Amino acid sequence: MISHCNLNIVLEGSNKGYISGDLGTGSYIAVKAMIENIPEVDTLVLKNMPGSLNMHSGRLIRGIFLVL
């Protein structure tokens, strides 16, 4: 599990990450840490997330072709 501020990313199986919690500036840091530490994740499931995914996080996710 990767946590930053109120955001959590939990790995399920070998390639699926579930992300939940409040989005904001910390979302970029958490997503980047997931990409660097768990490169086999190719699917990111967004669950119950108030806020919005910022432009930098969106570009980071699209840049590695994650499925949302």
Among the residues of the chain, which ranges form H helices?
25-37, 55-63
Tell if the pTM clears 0.75, that is, is over it. Answer: no
How far apart CA 8 and CA 13 sit, in angstroms, is: 16
The percentage of residues in the chain with a pLDDT greater than 90, rounded to a whole number, is: 0
How do residues 29-61 score in pLDDT, each as one tens digit?
888 888 888 888 888 888 877 766 677 777 777
The token pair that represents 4 in the structure block:
């930053």
What are the structural domain ranges in the chain? 2-63
CB 44 within 8 A of CB 28: no
Band of residue 15 on the pLDDT scale cut at 50, 70, 90:
confident
